Structure 1
Amino acid sequence: MSSNLEIASSFIQGAPPGELSDVVADIKALTPEGPGLISSLAPAFEKYNEEQLATVKLPGSSEEVIVSAFNKLEDGRYFDVQSQTSFAFDHVNQEASSPQSYVLESQNSDFIKSLLKSLSSHAKEHYPNCSFGVYPIEDDTAAAIVLVANKYSPNNFWNGRYRSIYTVPLPSADAVTGTIHINVHYYEDGNVSLNTKKPVSISLSPNSSADAVIKRIAAAERAQQLELSDAFSRLSEGAFKGLRRQLPITRQKVEWEKVGGYRLGQDISGGAKGR
């Protein structure tokens, strides 16, 4: 049982974006404990949801809020600054419940709300489908700035997730450190994954404004996108072209769906009959 639990937990931790339910279905089908094992995986689900910045709609709301270690309360509930709500979260079923009014208790609450307002403008301009939040951390001596954008296209066999997490010291607001994570999984007739992390380190003037903080974050994210775009261009023009010739020696494209019916030395070479 313990061995299966460890293996199943590792499957949960490695679930690609948007495919956690598929991994759960596989665990149920492949393990002798089946559905009974799932309830024992609650710690693995909790770790996965918090690390992946899981999003959930609160009851009666159309907006999605973030589940993370940064906005977790001592009683296991989570809070959202923008909606001023705390909520319970079922990590296995990924459902929110029991919403309650929540008032942010922080000596830096005004600055945190200013960061949230500036982050909202940035997010809506550059990430059409995203969730974001700003939370006091480290005993109220810093703020965590968090953004997650998911795009799932299972009909086209790909899913992707963008996460950015930054820390700003308070009240000085003189630096930003963090990481940009991008994870894309493509699985049509294969299994290809992009999983990249970009560390971010920014120096700011002492007592910088919330707008200044978010503008520097926006610049770092644009630079990262340009780096990725340039890397893909080099990969397409270089390494991928060298993998195989664009056309076979006959100068005609191979019909790969019919490749099983080709007769080596005759069809592929141009129709010469074997001896």
Structure 2
Amino acid sequence: MDPQERIQAASKFLLQSPPGEINDVLNDVRNIISDDDTLQAGVLPALQEYNLAQFITASVPGRQHQSIVSEAARVPSGGEDEEADGEDRFWDPRSRTSFKFDHLTLEAKEPQSYEPEAESEPFRTALETSALTYISAHFHDGVVSVFPTHGALNKYVIQVVANKYNPANFWSGRWRSEYIVDLEARTITGRILVNVHYYEQGNVQLSTTHTISLELPSGIASSPEASSASKILAIISDEETKYQTSLNESYQDMGDKTFKSLRRALPMTRAKLDWDKVLGYKLGVELSGGKGGFGAST
């Protein structure tokens, strides 16, 4: 396998990394490349694609909160703070700060002030306030960012991400949701993505996508910003609650039916093992009724 093929293979592995485990995968693929400089340069596009798709969060320089790094967060080409080197910048609407983002170290750097479109900002801020209240009530350590859609008035993107990593118990998980609120079309369209990895003595991954398309109730666009924003977040809350409930019901059904169908509920003797007497059993004698079996004379 030539070096380019190795880079392509390493990139595919990275793009399939479970939540919170991309550094482990990166360390593993180092053995494939055997050249750290070549590895970092070759897989950087894959890391960037992965981070944007997974709503990786960055600690905003000089602030006490995190912001989502995604396509919606990218500063438009030709923006007022675009660097001569052409390196992408992202922005945090909450603090009106733009920054460069290192996709390898996951660090934000070189912060600059960034002013959003004035016409979109009042309603965006109202959505952000309602969204922050929502995640504080429903997501442990969740992060939300609300962006205006560049070049389109009255259109906003709400993104939510919540991560839970528990390597001591061999599992990790990530919830992502994204909603496009279009006041002109009076619609909310979006998707919920859930990824869970369980790897104790095995390797099982759950990956689900749930799409949403709803009409906004009449009166939302014309009512005051705070009232309309809270109603929109109430709609989102209802949809996410219904989806989580359906997931819980699916897990219960899998435990009661699907998984049980994969193995016998009882051994072939059709009798349960008396665990209180397990030390007194003689294999091949007690379990077979004393006739033949392991250890029997022939």
Answer yes or no: same fold by TM over 0.5: yes
1:43 shift after superposition: 1.0
What residue ranges of structure 1 are gaps of 5+ in the alignment? 255-262
Partner residue, 1:257: none
Contact 1:118-1:211 at 8 Å conserved across structures? yes
User: How far did 1:33 drift?
Assistant: 3.4
| C-alpha distance 115-244 of structure 1, shift in aligned 2 (>3 A) | same
Structure 2 Cα separation of the partners of residues 35 and 22 of structure 1: 18
Of stretches 245-254 and 48-57 in structure 1, the one that deviates more from structure 2 is: 245-254
Mapped to 1, the partners of 2:190 and 2:129 lie a distance apart of 20
Q: 2-side partners of 1:253 and 1:245: how far apart? A: 17
C-alpha spacing 1:244/1:84, structure 2 compared with 1 (3 Å)? same
- The alpha carbon displacement at 1:266 in A equals 5.8
2:250 to 218, 224, 231: 231
Secondary structure at 1:165 match in 2: strand
TM-score (norm 1): 0.89
Quote how far apart the aligned CAs of 1:12 are: 1.2
The equivalences for 1:206-245 within 5 A come to 206=218, 208=220, 209-245=228-264
Q: Name the structure 2 match of 1:37.
A: 39
What corresponds to 2:120 in structure 1? 108
- Seen in structure 2, the aligned counterparts of structure 1 residues 92 and 81 have a Cα distance that, compared at 3 Å, is same
- Correspondence 1:98-247 to 2 at 5 A: 98-141=110-153, 142-170=155-183, 172=184, 174-206=186-218, 208=220, 209-247=228-266
Give the Cα separation in 2 of the matches to 1:28 and 1:264.
48
- Give the aligned partner of residue 16 of structure 2: 14
Secondary structure, in 3 states, of the residue corresponding to 2:130? helix
Q: Say whether 1:251 aligns with 2:263.
A: no
Contact residue 157 and residue 180 of structure 2 kept, 8 A? yes
Query: In terms of mean alpha carbon deviation, does 64-73 or 263-272 score higher?
Result: 263-272
Match of 2:279 in 1: none
C-alpha spacing 1:215/1:252, structure 2 compared with 1 (3 Å): same
Amino acid in structure 2 at the alignment position of 1:119 = A
- 136 and 106 in structure 1: CA distance in 2 versus 1, 3 angstrom threshold: farther
Q: 1:87 aligns with which of 88, 94, 99?
A: 99
- Rounded Cα–Cα distance in structure 1 between residues aligned with 2:159 and 2:249: 26
Contact 1:143 1:167 in 2 (8 A): yes
- What whole-Å deviation, never above 9, does each CA across 1:170-200 have from its counterpart, x for those lacking one? 4x37110010000000000000111000001
CA RMSD, aligned part only? 2.2
CA 234–32 in structure 1, closer or farther in 2 if over 3 Å, else same: same
| Deviations, residues 212-242 of structure 1 (Å, cap 9, x unaligned) | 1111111100110111111111111111122
Give the number of equivalent residue pairs.
266
Q: CA deviation at 1:42?
A: 1.3
DSSP 3-state at the match of 1:70:
helix
- Between 1:60-69 and 1:151-160, the stretch displaced more is 60-69
TM-score normalised by the chain length of structure 2: 0.83
Letter in 2 for 1:145: I
Question: 1:159 and 1:214 mapped to 2: Cα distance?
Answer: 27
Q: Which runs of 5+ in 2 are unaligned?
A: 83-87, 221-227, 276-281
Q: Aligned in 2, Cα 1:138/1:100: closer, same or farther, shift over 3 Å?
A: closer
Aligned AA for 1:231?
Answer: S
Aligned-pair identity in percent equals 36
Greater Cα shift, 105-114 or 222-231: 105-114
Please tell me whether Structure 1 or Structure 2 has the larger radius of gyration of its CA atoms.
2
Paired AA for residue 59 in structure 1: P
Amino acid at match of 1:217: I
Q: 2:225 maps to what in 1?
A: none
Q: What amino acid is aligned across from residue 181 of structure 2 in structure 1?
A: V
Among residues 53, 56, 71, which one is paired with 1:54 in the alignment? 56
Residue 92 of structure 1 aligns to a residue in which SS?
Answer: coil
Q: Is the 8 A contact 2:10 2:32 kept in 1?
A: no
Measured in 1, the distance between the counterparts of 2:47 and 2:210 equals 25
Instruction: Tell me by how many angstroms 1:245 deviates.
Output: 2.5
